[in-house]
A and B are shown apart, each in its own frame.
Chain A
Amino acid sequence: MDPNQFDREKLHEIISNYRDRRWALIPLLQEVQEEIGFIPPESIEPIAEALNMFASQVQGVITFYSGFSLKPKGRYVLRVCRGTACHVKGSRSILRLVKKELELEEGETSPDYRFTLETVACLGACFLAPTMMVNRDYYGRLNPTKVASVLGEYRKDKEDD
């Protein structure tokens, strides 16, 4: 999957649905993020034009929220929690392990766009520390074996494709 081959017509359609509705910048961006998986930088200027804003303003909103990304992300986004509780429970080692397994640094995406590795300050599931999320699924009480099995699940998925 090459994420730069996204559906440009769809993008265009989303933007035109919001034309002249300045207040709707965030819903628009959410829809683009949801549909395309990221917000293509080339869409910033058309969005700004449609909403009568400056392109720099649109970019400011995109970069402010971590929910929006200007870079294509992998099919599976891993968020390893680095909050206090998880830290005490050894999330540093968990992160190190995940990095080693996936050969990715924080914020990076694998060349095949399968995995993206991110860290977050807290997932709000401290009772399960140390935790991480893959897309919308939580994985708690992690240990090296569990990490390997979770990653294995998502890797296995690859062969199924």
Chain B
Amino acid sequence: MESIALTINGRKVTCRTGDSLLSVAEKNGIFIPTLCNHPDLKPYGACRMCLVEDEKSGRLMAACVTPAAKDMAVLTDTERIISHRKNIVRLMIAEHPESCIVCSKGNRCELRALAARLGVAETRLYPMPNYKPYEELNPFIVRDLSKCILCGKCIRADHELVAAGAIDYNDRGFPSRPATLMEKPLEESTCTFCGTCVSMCPTGALSPKHAGYVGTPEKEKDSVCGFCGAGCSLALGMAAQKVIEVNPSKVKGSVNGATLCVRGHFTHDYLNCEDRLYEPMIRVRGENGEPELRAADWSEAVSRAAETLAGIKRTHGPGSIAFIGSPRCSVEENYLFQKIARVLFGTNNVTSTATINGQALLRRMEEKTMGAARITPIAELEKAEAIVTVNSDMGHAVPVADYHVRRAARAGTPLVTIDTAKTGLAPFAGARIRPDNSTTDPEDRIPALISALVLKIADINGHDSDFVSRFTSGWDSYKTAAKKLLAGQPLSPAEENEIARAAEMLAGRKTAIILSPATMEQRHGARIAEASFNLALVSGSLGSRNAGIFIPSPESNTAGALDMGVVPDMLPGRIPLSDQDGREQLERFWNTKLSPDPGLDLSAIIEAAESGHLKGLYIMGENLLRFLPEPDRVEAALKNLDFIVVQDIIDTRTARLADVVLPAAAFAEKSGSFTNMEGRIQSFTPVAAAPGRALADWRILGLLAQKMGYPEQYATIEKIRQEIRKTIPMYAALGNQRQEWVKNSEKDTPFAGNGARFEFGPIEPHKPADTKPEKPFTAVLGSLRWHIGGGTRTARSSRMKKWNRDSHARLCPSDIVALGLEEGGRIRIVSDHGSIERSFIADSGLTSGRVFVPLGFHENDAVSLAGLKDLKPPAPAWRTCGVEIEKI
């Protein structure tokens, strides 16, 4: 780009063609006030506050929408401009209600700050407040459009950043306001309550709703969100050491920019919930002779845990103790946790619920890609040549990544969705491949549809033949097998059409393929993953940053917990336990002997507890009774154990079963790092004070190691990071900077050129549906954007407690008719394992024979439909189960 010179206020400055006057002034430290400008939004010129004067002609121009030109001479603060600015502010204030003194925006109001700066006090204009209804029925956002100054930031954020399309200007002139479709309340619109508009609103027109008095934030500190695997940078607004408000951080290069989602923005009030654990507790015999939990000091509680567990190990052997870590705890904590299990207790019984919530797919793709494609930056989705989503409604799993896909599609990137249910991306998709309506088991058909797409792309010569011949093997036998598969499952004309359309869109393009993190947790999931991988190969999509396989992580550290080896059959650094070299190397680092036998997985732990083979359990940051299937059975199993330690931030049902309860600090209250879905390792430092005597998990684990007599002292987070950097090459950069990236595998990948090749996946024949006649429906247990996992944290948000809109089960309209159900009625959903009662709504996006039940609501009772036996790796298909539906 050409460099041009101009003068601003007589000062010579240079910039590039196309820069706006406003941005040039800002870069040169010249202040121009503005109310409607935002660096992440397109310039708009709504507020006219940035007026500047052309020195030669005296013409007034809005600096935000005027491109800088060669030899321009611009004045930014002449008397004339100041007078204009003052008049504009006077007019705005004349239209504004006189409620500044009680406005929640208070001193943070940009209009008020600007009025003060310009010296506007009394407007000396006839006040004409534009009163509008005050809207606060939803628990998240208060809309007081009387205070709206029509800057359009909320509308532009809604369209340009999150692409929800909930609001736009309505009417013209004085009555004009941002409005939803038919001016319905936000909760009846397409608004997702991401709150991006709230953070941008310059006045008090949009503000977060609080349940009670919380005060005004005294300062803002940056952290990383502890919910999903996007890893958004947060600016936490603090008052009296407590987090009372959350906004997107202004830090450069963050995952989320100016956006957040409803969880990140509005549910962090769980940090201040009354169920937080404040002090260590141990189980003792109470006055009435019954065992009860009583407060203890740290030394006593940790000694009790260490001594009892050591005793169990001595008497019953290392296999009698199991450790359950957490995808919500940091990289450092999970490393230390599994090290304590493996080194101090000599057991590989170390796992977490992430193994049944996202990690199964991560692991499968790690194997298929040979560790050569661990880095998938979601911002690159906007630079993708084409995007395909497979069974993925990312707007619920990782909303911020979904925004990137929406933006890309709106900017013209070809988007193909392949799914069994209509997703939020459907309106943006150029082609929607979905199983024909007559299919009885739609999921079973997805692999065939993807295979047909792969063949079609090859047919029209749209495949990357260079990539296929250089880096892959098995292409020819794959084609034969795929054709055979399709011969047994012919396509319907509608499917054929849509696949042809999609193939045209994808031909010759490297493709970003987004899979649902729950893929492997559903029936036929392994085959769907396999088929999607083949699509990545045929389009030559591995090895580029803007293409490949993108897997949204359901929790903040799903990937980090896997990388740190909190799995029964894998060591830190994604080294299989069976890899003798890798094992021996770690043995040298740790100065110990490691067992090559895999430990117990989650369902095996419960079974071993039932049979009495397991005696002790150490649970860090996990509410097993809320997240695992068959909660009653899990509870009985846990009660059968001799000794349980629960280390958590919240007093959960699981914690109440413990013999030792150790109160931990939440992410905002400690140092650590999370590895997000992109492979980005983000480190954070404490922002808020932990409640009571709670300590960071890594400190508690350090105390435990010390009590167990381990010679290494883990007194600082840096000490743990040092050890990780040394022992795990994948994390060699951990903690150097605030943001680092994991390393791809260096050996044996096809890109290394030593003969290794990506393999086209086998095509397994389709399996007949295994539904029993008495359980004709398939229940799909899915997550919506309102809750994370089982909802232990999100359901403790005072805002989310008031939100029940999407808790209903969803049925296809024809099934509602067939079952004779009446609108507004309730149903009982009965599986082999349990039953729940629910209200229901019709969802025309579902195929017949399926019922969608959202997780997280109603104490997460939906999980009782699933069975523990389905948790078996490598494809723990617990999210789909056969059910019958009864009318109540």
Looking across the interface, which residue of chain A has its beta carbon closest to that of B165? A54
Among A41, A56, A64, max chain B CB count under 10 A is at: A56
- Residues of chain B contacted by A16 (CB below 8 angstroms): none
Residue B170 CB within 8 A of the other chain: yes
Partner of B179, one of A49, A53, A59: A59
Q: A59-B181, A59-B182 are in contact. Are A64 and B159 (CB under 8 A)?
A: no
> In whole angstroms, what is the CA distance A50 to B689 when docked?
53
Picked from A45, A56, A63, the residue with its CB within 8 Å of the CB of B172 is A63
List A55-98 residues whose CB lies under 8 Å from chain B: 55-57, 59-60, 63-65
A52 vs B179: C-alpha distance when bound (angstroms): 19
Does B166 sit at the interface, judged by CB under 8 A? yes
Closest CB in chain A relative to B539 CB, distance in Å = 25
Which residues of chain B are near A25, meaning CB under 8 Å? none
- Assess whether B182 is in contact with A41, with CB atoms less than 8 Å apart: yes
Known: A41-B182, A44-B181. A56 touches B171 (CB 8 A): no
Q: List 26 A-B contacts (CB under 8 A).
A: A41-B182, A44-B181, A49-B427, A52-B427, A54-B159, A54-B166, A54-B168, A54-B190, A55-B165, A56-B165, A56-B166, A56-B167, A56-B168, A56-B189, A57-B159, A57-B165, A59-B179, A59-B181, A59-B182, A60-B168, A60-B169, A63-B170, A63-B172, A63-B179, A64-B172, A65-B172
**6 shortest A-B CB distances, which residue pairs?**
A54-B165, A60-B168, A56-B168, A63-B170, A55-B181, A63-B171
Cα A55 to Cα B165 with chains together (Å): 7
CB < 8 Å: which of A53, A54, A64 contacts B169? Answer: A64
Cα(A53)–Cα(B410), bound, Å: 9
Interface string of A104-147 (1 = CB under 8 A from B): 00000000000000000000000000000000000000000000
Consensus secondary structure, chain B interface: mixed
Using a Cβ–Cβ cut-off of 8 Å, how many residues does chain B contribute to the interface with A? Answer: 16
B165 touches A64 (CB 8 A): no
B848 within 8 A of A: no
For B179, list chain A residues within 8 Å (CB): 56, 59-60, 63
Verify if B203 is at the interface (C-beta below 8 Å from A).
Answer: no
Using Cβ atoms and an 8 Å threshold, which residues of chain B touch A63?
Answer: 170-172, 179
Interface string of A6-44 (1 = CB under 8 A from B): 000000000000000000000000000000000001001
On chain B, the residues within 8 Å of A52 by CB distance are: 427
B180: CB under 8 A from chain A?
yes
Chain A positions near chain B (C-beta within 8 angstroms): 41, 44-45, 49, 52-57, 59-60, 63-65
List of A residues within 8 angstroms of B172 by Cβ:
63-65
Question: Are A64's CB and B171's CB within 8 A?
Answer: yes
What is the CA–CA distance of A17 and B182 in the complex, to the nearest angstrom? Answer: 25
Which residues of chain A have C-beta atoms less than 8 A from B427's C-beta?
A: 49, 52
Bound form: Cα–Cα A50–B189 in Å = 19
Distance, CA A54 to CA B172, complexed state (A): 19
Min Cβ gap A44→B in Å is 7
Q: Which residue of A lies closest to B181 (CB)?
A: A55
Q: Which residues of A contact B169 (CB under 8 A)?
A: 60, 64
Question: Bound state CA distance, A45 and B182, in angstroms?
Answer: 11
B173–chain A nearest beta-carbon distance, Å: 10
Query: B residues within 8 A CB of A41?
Result: 182
CB closest residue in chain B, given A55: B181
- B230 to nearest A CB, angstroms? 24
Q: Which residues of A contact B159 (CB under 8 A)?
A: 54, 57
Chain A's nearest CB lies how many Å from the CB of B146?
A: 19
Smallest CB-CB separation from B170: which chain A residue? Answer: A63
In the complex, what residues of B have CB within 8 A of residue A64's CB? 169, 171-172
Known A54-B190, A63-B172, A65-B172; 11 more pairs at CB < 8 Å = A49-B427, A54-B159, A55-B190, A56-B167, A56-B179, A57-B165, A57-B168, A59-B170, A59-B179, A59-B182, A60-B169
